[in-house]
Structure 1
């Protein structure tokens, strides 16, 4: 049997039993960090409505997402029950792939292969006692949840962790349509979704699509906000209804600001057990620091790290750089670890201007800090949502998957960011001189100041959207009312 555990909270829900609930929710995330994180946030939101939630994953990935959850989530009373099922361990190959996490694919594929049976057993157990079992799953886990259609009192909903613009661009590729937004976007500048994937990951997605076509879904959830994505969401829904007129769509983002950090209260986001980098940020001027992080699935070669370091040093801009390697199949494996190399003497030379963090850092707290004025990012959708929700403009440096489309959305549509590198030049080394110019443009120019102003205004509107009466809050309320009808 699986190892079932409840989240550690101030008042443990030890007496919780799914058998007493008329409606229970089962959440099945794809085991990449940003996907795990978004669905954990959603689990907290749903459980705050007094609905029991069962969060399903491997033992490894449950431990991973718990260890990296921000303090606000960890300190919340919850009705979440974790079901952590063991899967075989696959060591990560070295050297890592630079385009996409091929070193993580064995772990992803193992989760898909080994979670189907325990998930089906859990679902059968819950369906015997609950009036309705609601499955919310990542589309990339459709093969895992395929057996849910055999039970009469279950409903399944797909939670999309990528932007609606990415799915819109995917439809562009599939249907051969042109994308324009307010008449000023050249469709030729929007990358091909297919070409942003490695063959291995493309094949994995293709495998899941087979099950998506066979399995009826009751609706779609997006970590998106209609204030900025309405046109794209409407188009996606229109196309979905061509095959199923009853399908529903809810845009309930930004998730993170629903659960916490709705407002930036001065410098200090959270004073309890704070990371050392937050103490450093406390001493810096407002909007003076560029935060640099490329997520959990990006590997950067030493020569590119060197150019980035030189460019930062030459720019004279204050920075907080999270410089850690990409996740391995087992993030807790203490075996061989690659330590990215900086130019000799770099940290000593820039100690008055910058700080380099080599371990996991609290991204949300950093972005929410008043000293942070820009974010150099890989443009994973989770990072984009967090950044724009907290009013921080982005230096967009996409690496793979949905990131090139997200970068276009940030820079061309929302206009709250600048491109570090055009996607057409993705295989070229970005020189220190280019990096210096981009950093200065974002952090030391009137154009950058205007982007910061626009980002702050946009962030305020997005946070309002999650408050009572806001457009995202109303969509969330609509979804909750639908599953508890």
Structure 2
């Protein structure tokens, strides 16, 4: 589907799908809403966060909570759902968010799955429409409480939850839209019809220094300013683009928020390796390779001769042996480690033994690798990932593609030979030394950006100050 066609589908679905796909969810929301005891102090700032219940989307909001944690007399209400809200609540219970007064509303169910539909925009619109329907009971209550002591003073939501703009307008409070994808993907989604772009602030997990010659942030700023000039007095009037990144679970760029305190076998496996010798392989929490791709990856890894740490979670009803070539584990014993459960990715990337990262190029994983100074092999799967891959290999030159050619042509075509070539190119070739130097230089540049006085440091502090000014 062409871009224009996808946008039309998104707009049509957003207008209609909540009506005929999710009828009757209102009663379920009222039954299942779980509200914890409020710990509000009168008159203080009250920040309402509406979060998509997926780890890739929630990660940035969790880092916001850490930024706010030392401010007193601040209330935060987190509206989310499923295991994600339980994880955030556990972090709060163990004291991670210090002085914040918090409560939680678990209202969002699992998003609809349409794996046979390749259009990410369509799937995102369906999920957003479902969440809009589930949010209605909360919205009505918030409007009823408008003007009372302890009512929300600002609202922050994911870019895909553009409809929360209406709630902020009815409450008469500032509304901040958060893009958990890079700026170039945000530009793809930019349409004047979306309220999501008539925000008090458009928060982007990037920085002017990070994007180099791509110029996406500059383009977004220019586009917003042009809209202000063409529509004077309209809702664009006060919109500001606020680059606050990179915010990641990497030392110096964010807080490691994991709940897993037990020793990790995957980390222990790295302790036995030489510096920079291990290739780390992970495809995120939502991305999976096909059975053939997994087979080709394993075969290529075996032939490369490079030590590896591979996070590989078998689908329900299958085992590791079902996915790998016969005898693979025996032949790579002592050289490779396969993690079938949770892996502490940030700590793995920071480990001295980790010399490379084979990744799907989700934006969070890409940022974590950039901030750790770890070179990448790019194997994008969907959404913003092909563009992120080109950013890594062609713009910043801190990685190599898993195969030659445009990233969008990788799907179902990567062979054993492609994997072997890419792994050796990143880990043991002469070119690898230059790529590593580029990666360390990018880490240094980004460290300055989020360090005291850096552009993102200033943006973060100004944003927090605006939130807390009531």
What TM bracket, shorter-length normalisation?
A: 0.7 to 0.9
Match of 2:204 in 1: 222
Task: Work out whether 1:433 is the aligned partner of 2:423.
Answer: no
Paired with 1:299 and 1:99, the residues of 2 have a C-alpha distance of 14
Match of 1:53 in 2: 76
| TM-score (norm: length of structure 1) | 0.77
Task: Work out whether 1:262 is the aligned partner of 2:252.
Answer: yes
Match of 2:277 in 1: 288
Contact 1:36 1:65 survives alignment (8 Å): no
**Deviation string for 1:94-114 (max 9, x for gaps)?**
xx5595789999766543321
Match of 1:164 in 2: 183
**Secondary structure at the counterpart of residue 81 of structure 1:** strand
Match of 1:143 in 2: 163
Match of 2:359 in 1: 377
In structure 2, relative to structure 1, the CA distance for the partners of 1:300 and 1:53 (3 Å cut) is same
Paired with 2:219 and 2:299, the residues of 1 have a C-alpha distance of 44
Match of 1:478 in 2: 462
In structure 2, relative to structure 1, the CA distance for the partners of 1:19 and 1:165 (3 Å cut) is same
Match of 1:200 in 2: none
Task: Work out whether 1:133 is the aligned partner of 2:122.
Answer: no
Match of 1:251 in 2: 243
Match of 2:391 in 1: 409
**Secondary structure at the counterpart of residue 365 of structure 2:** helix
**Deviation string for 1:433-465 (max 9, x for gaps)?**
110000000111121121112112211221232
Bigger drift between 54-63 and 313-322 goes to: 54-63
The number of residues matched between the two structures is 418
In structure 2, relative to structure 1, the CA distance for the partners of 1:91 and 1:475 (3 Å cut) is closer
Contact 2:245 2:456 survives alignment (8 Å): yes
For structure 1, list consecutive stretches of 5 or more residues without a partner in the other structure: 7-15, 175-208, 327-335
Match of 2:44 in 1: 22
In structure 2, relative to structure 1, the CA distance for the partners of 1:239 and 1:368 (3 Å cut) is same
Match of 1:77 in 2: 98
For structure 2, list consecutive stretches of 5 or more residues without a partner in the other structure: 1-29, 228-235
Task: Work out whether 1:317 is the aligned partner of 2:337.
Answer: no
In structure 2, relative to structure 1, the CA distance for the partners of 1:140 and 1:168 (3 Å cut) is closer
| TM-score (norm: length of structure 2) | 0.79
In structure 2, relative to structure 1, the CA distance for the partners of 1:440 and 1:124 (3 Å cut) is farther
**RMSD after superposition:** 3.3
Contact 1:398 1:423 survives alignment (8 Å): yes
**Secondary structure at the counterpart of residue 432 of structure 2:** helix
In structure 2, relative to structure 1, the CA distance for the partners of 1:300 and 1:74 (3 Å cut) is farther
Match of 2:452 in 1: 468
Contact 1:120 1:147 survives alignment (8 Å): no
Paired with 1:321 and 1:234, the residues of 2 have a C-alpha distance of 37
Task: Work out whether 1:240 is the aligned partner of 2:224.
Answer: yes
In structure 2, relative to structure 1, the CA distance for the partners of 1:408 and 1:290 (3 Å cut) is same
What's the CA shift for 1:132? 6.1
Contact 1:287 1:373 survives alignment (8 Å): yes
Paired with 1:225 and 1:130, the residues of 2 have a C-alpha distance of 34
Paired with 1:166 and 1:419, the residues of 2 have a C-alpha distance of 20
In structure 2, relative to structure 1, the CA distance for the partners of 1:309 and 1:4 (3 Å cut) is same
Task: Work out whether 1:33 is the aligned partner of 2:23.
Answer: no
In structure 2, relative to structure 1, the CA distance for the partners of 1:104 and 1:307 (3 Å cut) is farther
Task: Work out whether 1:63 is the aligned partner of 2:82.
Answer: no
In structure 2, relative to structure 1, the CA distance for the partners of 1:91 and 1:255 (3 Å cut) is closer
Contact 1:100 1:400 survives alignment (8 Å): no
